[in-house]
Amino acid sequence: MIQNFKIDQAATFASVRLLSVEAKAVFGDNDRQETTKDGVPKWEAQLVAGFRQFGKTQNEIIKASMAAEHDPGEGIAPATPVELIDFEIGVMEKQRDGQVVGVQVWYRCQGIRPIAATGSSNGTDRKTRNGSTSATSSEAAEAVG
């Protein structure tokens, strides 16, 4: 059984930073880029996601797939905080002899945009480690534009 879940990035992660974006290769053929059934190229972003676990910040490298005509990471410097648009996680059971023996997990999104700060999902400011407040991504966009 496959299930997809939407991710509230601001509520789930302390930060998400872009490492790189590469063309997603066709399985078994690293010289060809995978495409959607409509011919749109697929890309894979590598990101470092920080989250709180057992009272400490943990960081994990995650890969998120997306489809776009052009490199969605173009113009975004490595280590830039980003928002993943329509971010979701997919989970699929792995079975052997009719028994569930594990799961396969993947991330995908519709695009990437750099952000100045990450706020809580309800639009309120949140305290940074040094005690100052940071704006939500929408507030940061309004301040710039």
Cα–Cα distance between 22 and 108 in angstroms, integer? 14
Task: Give the least confident one: 11-25, 52-66, 125-139.
Answer: 125-139
Q: Domains in the chain, start-ordered, CATH in brackets?
A: 2-114 (2.40.50)
134 vs 72, more confident? 72
Q: What is the rounded average pLDDT of the residues 69-91?
A: 96
109 vs 1, more confident? 109
> Are 1 and 104 a contacting pair, CB within 8 Å?
no
Quote the mean pLDDT of the chain. Answer: 83
Looking at the chain, the whole-number percentage of residues with pLDDT higher than 90 is 68
Q: What is the rounded average pLDDT of the residues 68-91?
A: 96
Confidence band (pLDDT; 50, 70, 90) for 2?
A: confident
* pTM score over 0.85: no
